[in-house]
Amino acid sequence: MKINQARTLLQQGASAADAAYDTGFADQSHFHRAFKSRVAATPLQYSKT
């Protein structure tokens, strides 16, 4: 699943923009909304944990 891949990338230090691009999201805002709806945190909040 794209979000699980993005979580891994963020944990490894990737930026939200890079995680969005690498997982195939058309744009960063779509990625942000999808990530937040599934993880209950923004990509930035998640990467800081």
pLDDT of 42 > 90? The answer is yes
pLDDT of 22 > 90? The answer is yes
Tally the C-alpha atoms within 13 A of residue 31's C-alpha that lie toward its C-beta. Answer: 24
Write down all domains in the chain, each with its CATH number in brackets: 2-47 (1.10.10.60)
In whole numbers, what is the pLDDT of the chain averaged over residues?
Answer: 96
**What's the average model confidence in pLDDT over 21-45?**
96
User: pTM for the whole thing?
Assistant: 0.88
**What's the average model confidence in pLDDT over 20-44?**
96
CA distances from 20 to 30, 31, 49 (A): 9, 6, 18
Contact assessment for residue 43 and residue 10, using Cβ atoms and an 8 Å cutoff: yes
- Give the confidence band of 49 by pLDDT, cuts at 50, 70, 90: confident
Instruction: Give the residue with greater pLDDT, 7 vs 1.
Output: 7
